[in-house]
Amino acid sequence: MQELHGNPFGTHRVLEPVGVLPQPALRIDNDLTKLYDNEILCDVKTLNVDSASFTQIKDEAGGDIEKIKEIMFGIVGRFGKHKNPVTGSGGMFIGTVRRIGSALKGKIDLNEGDRIASLVSLSLTPLKIEEILQVHKNIDQVDIRGQAVLFESGIWAKLPDDMDDKLALAVLDVAGAPAQTARLVRPGQRVLIIGASGKSGLLCAYVAKKYAGVTGQIIGTTTSDNGLEWLKTVPFIDDAFKVDATDAVTTYEKVKEITKGHMADVVISCVSRPDCEMGAILPCREDGTVYFFSMATSFTKAALGAEGVGKDVTMLIGNGYTRDHAKIALEFVRESAYIRETYEKKYIGK
């Protein structure tokens, strides 16, 4: 197999339009018989599809498993990567390193045969799906037989030996959220977690309480009665209420009531549906911070919406990467028996 030298950022695989990076590109080359000397080829075991993307796919498929498979095959077939054309987002994978390009061997702490999780989006990752083995539609994971390539600039994490692969994948998929939450929250702050019953929301709530401390107030929202009853039992959530995250005024009124008019110092939006921007902005206090950890967020709607209601708040894009985020997120799960047991029950059926 001939090895050519590629651009470290992967532009050598961009087919359309030429000259852009792989993520914004419309199509990339997923011919994995042609490898470059600065690429890593992996056999893929499981795809963890981004929550916003998988929610959209499930909705389009009406929940039908075979239709979900058909849509996913279609995306990869058209674009050479799993970039949802509606949400623009992807996800990540776990697999085994099959081949390391000669230009990278000995320069990175990785060996052929190592089990890894990709920490870059499937929306920029050259991917081949040979067979979809199983769709776990309640946890956004899809078991496949296929291959993927990581570019020289791509980030990854070796899978830990002390937890199940599916648990590690679930945690690493949202690793940026808890790491960023740790940076944002200060002692005594009031923190609103929109979508606190979800994967990223629950972990953010734990981290928020850890850093806000006993004088802080962690408020969680959910959209269902069952979710609300459960949130009321979560030891690190102080207050919870049920609301449709698109209903900004109701969210504002509830937070105003719970905080006795102080509003939230930090708002973290973890919802996976569109049109929830104002539900995060309105309940934030003046000069507060809104962190959008959702690929369903429209930053045009957020910016113009904040302007429209005269809200002077700092708004942050939910960067999926924060320095050492994989180590940080896995350590949070190790230190919280509640988080670990909850995730194990949901993602590996323990």
CATH value at residue 262: 3.40.50.720
pLDDT of residue 16: 96
* pLDDT of the residue at 338: 94
Query: Cα 59 from chain centroid?
Result: 19
Q: What is the mean pLDDT of residues 316-329?
A: 84
Residue 199 sits in the same domain as residue 282 = yes
Q: Which is more confidently placed, 309 or 294?
A: 309
pLDDT at 346 (0 to 100) = 83
Whether residue 134 lies inside any domain: the answer is: yes
Residue with tokens 């981290």: 207
Boundary of a domain, candidates 159, 193, 227: 159
Does 166 reside within a domain?
Answer: no
Q: What is the pLDDT of residue 295?
A: 77
Distance CA 208, CA 184 (A): 9
Q: What is the pLDDT of residue 92?
A: 92
Q: Are residues 80 and 206 in the same domain?
A: no
Residue 2 has pLDDT above 60, yes or no: no
CB atoms within 10 A of CB 344: 17
Flag the least confident range among 53-67, 78-92, 159-173, 236-250: 159-173
162 pLDDT band, cuts 50/70/90, is very high
pLDDT greater than 90 at residue 272: no
Q: Within this chain, do residues 155 and 206 fall inside the same structural domain, yes or no?
A: no
**Does residue 207 surpass a pLDDT of 60?**
yes
Average pLDDT over residues 90-117: 94
Instruction: Confirm if 325 and 179 have CB atoms less than 8 A apart.
Output: yes
User: What's the longest Cα–Cα distance across the chain?
Assistant: 67
Same domain, 209 and 113: no
Distance CA 84, CA 122 (A): 9
Three-class SS of residue 249? Answer: helix
Co-location of 258 and 130 in the same domain? no
Provide, rounded to the nearest whole percent, the portion of the chain with pLDDT above 70.
99
User: In Å, how far from its chain's centre is CA 306?
Assistant: 24
Q: Is residue 99, in this structure, part of any structural domain at all?
A: yes
Q: Once rounded to an integer, what is the mean pLDDT over residues 206-234?
A: 96
Q: Are residues 253 and 333 in the same domain?
A: yes
Q: Has residue 168 been placed in a domain?
A: no
**Domain of 207?**
176-347
Helix (H, G, I), strand (E, B) or coil at 173: helix
Question: Stretch 57-67: mean pLDDT, rounded?
Answer: 95
Rounded CA gap, 5 and 3, in Å?
Answer: 7
User: Which residue did the predictor score with more confidence, 51 or 16?
Assistant: 16
Q: Which residues contact 121 (CB under 8 A, 6 or more apart)?
A: 23, 50, 83, 89, 90, 91, 92, 320
* Alpha helices, H only, the chain: 51-61, 65-79, 165-173, 176-184, 199-212, 225-231, 248-258, 277-281, 299-308, 325-335, 337-347
Task: Specify the number of domains making up the chain.
Answer: 2
pLDDT > 90: percent of the chain:
81
- Does residue 228 sit in helix, strand or coil? helix
Residue 303's φ and ψ, nearest 5 degrees, are: -65, -50
d(CA 111, CA 195): 38
Q: 40 CB contacts (<8 Å, ≥6 apart)?
A: 97, 99, 100, 101, 104, 110, 149, 150, 154, 156
User: Could you tell me the pLDDT band of residue 294, with boundaries at 50, 70 and 90?
Assistant: confident
* pLDDT value at residue 347: 79
Burial of 226 (0-12, 13-18, 19+ CB in 10 A): exposed
Q: Which of 158, 31, 34 is closest to 101 using CA atoms?
A: 34
Question: Which residues face 97 on adjacent strands?
Answer: 42
Report the candidate in 113, 115, 114, 108 with the shortest Cα–Cα distance to residue 151: 108
Answer whether residue 319 shows pLDDT above 80. no
**Residue 1 pLDDT exceeds 70:** no
Give the pLDDT mean for 26-32.
96
263 half-sphere exposure, CB direction, 13 A CA radius: 21
Binned at pLDDT 50, 70 and 90, residue 199 comes out as confident
Q: Can you give the pLDDT at residue 323?
A: 82
Please report which confidence band the pLDDT of residue 139 belongs to, taking 50, 70 and 90 as the band edges: confident
Structure tokens at 155: 């980030």
Residues 36-60 have a mean pLDDT of 94
Within-domain flag for 170: no
Q: Mean pLDDT score of the chain, rounded to an integer?
A: 93
pTM score: 0.84
Looking at the DSSP bridge assignments, the partners of residue 284 are 264
Q: 197 and 124 share a domain?
A: no
Mean pLDDT of 101-110: 92
In this structure, the answer to whether residues 185 and 325 fall within a common structural domain is: yes
Residue type, 109: D
User: What is residue 53's predicted lDDT score, i.e. its pLDDT?
Assistant: 92
Contact in structure between 139 and 95 (CB atoms under 8 Å)? no
Confidence of residue 273 (pLDDT cuts 50, 70, 90): confident
| In contact, 263 and 284? CB cutoff 8 Å | yes
Q: Which of 3-7, 158-162, 243-247 has the lowest mean pLDDT?
A: 3-7
Question: For residues 34 and 125, which has the higher predicted lDDT (pLDDT)?
Answer: 125
Residue 165 lies in a domain: no
d(CA 188, CA 61): 45
DSSP annotation of 282:
T
Give the rounded distance of the alpha carbon of 7 from its chain centre: 26
Indicate the pLDDT class of residue 209, thresholds 50, 70 and 90: very high
192 and 152 housed in the same domain: no
H-only helix segments in 65-129: 65-79
pLDDT of residue 210: 97
* Confidence (pLDDT) at 341: 93
